[in-house]
Amino acid sequence: MTAQIISGTEIARQIREELAREIAELKEKHNLIPGLATVLVGEDPASQVYVGQKEKTSLALGIYSERHDIPAETTQPDLMALVDKLNQDPKIHGILVQLPLPKHLDETEVLYAINPKKDVDGFHPVNVGKLMIGEPDYLPCTPHGIQQLLVRSGIEISGAEVVVLGRSNIVGKPIANILLQKKEGANATVTVCHTGTRDISFHTRRADILIVAAGRPKAVTADMVKEGVVVIDVGVNRIGKTAEGKAILAGDVDFETVKEKARAITPVPGGVGPMTIIMLMTNTVRAAKLAAGLV
């Protein structure tokens, strides 16, 4: 069996084109320009790259973008004051505070201070609660991207046995909640495995759809999956460098062996990764429409 490669790069491109048309229509018909503010504390290289990608994508789509780069030694009161200022700014519909923050800052206090209507990451307890009961304003970006990968690849989710490896608040818990809702693009039977699970392979071999966010390179091997499984690999692990100094990346799934048994599989890179930023843009547009009473 040769697996279908689920290209996040291609699906993100499709969504980008749809969003560009929607944003142009909002400007033309309602004089509404979605606005996104990013806050980066310190100079973490990976965070700088990620924030830069968000800014570039915003500008390309016609989203108003503000980038707030502040020193690593910023105090908690100063950061909270910036969040409050952005909460009050009518030009800003979405606020994203890039994590991780420096250790002296309280991430929870900062995230909870963001107006839930502007919480386009979907991390505020209000938005987590709305997701849980099936009435979300926003879906968290990476889990939402995973759902879109499945739906747009024609994978039947309703009634499927979905197994999720990992129970993080960013991926594992929210994707489990999204896919068990009694809705289109969901309605699955979901099992979540984690470090306390006694026999992970017992569960992974039952999966029709396996979503892996384990945080360990090549943790899932061919003997752990059944023929015809659909595999979504969320992991991005640096496992070495090329002679030219470029990072060698691997997912949480042993791609080369598992693809021989899978019906469909995401690559690393080029799978889940490209979806996260475009779903952030989707949430920002939705936030603007919510603020304007258009949804």
Q: pLDDT digit string (tens) for 29-61? A: 999 999 999 999 998 888 888 889 999 999 999
Mean pLDDT calculated for residue range 189-193 = 98
Q: What is residue 63's predicted lDDT score, i.e. its pLDDT?
A: 97
**Which residues belong to CATH 3.40.50.720 in the chain?**
141-274
**Which residues belong to CATH 3.40.50.10860 in the chain?**
31-117
Q: Give 147-160 pLDDT, tens digit per residue.
A: 999 999 999 999 99
**CA–CA separation, 95 and 98 (whole Å):** 10
Cα-Cα-Cα-Cα torsion 83, 88, 94, 100, nearest 10 degrees, comes to 0
The pLDDT of residue 1 is above 70: no
Catalytic residue set: 54, 98, 121
Confidence tier at 236 by pLDDT (50, 70, 90):
confident
How far, CA to CA in Å, does 275 sit from each of 8, 43, 78, 177, 178?
6, 24, 32, 19, 16
Q: Which amino acid is at 258?
A: V
Fold of the 141-274 domain: Rossmann fold (3.40.50)
Q: Which CATH number fits domain 31-117: 1.10.10.10, 3.40.50.10860, 2.70.98.60, 3.30.1060.10?
A: 3.40.50.10860
What's the whole-number average pLDDT of the chain?
A: 95
Confidence tier at 248 by pLDDT (50, 70, 90):
confident
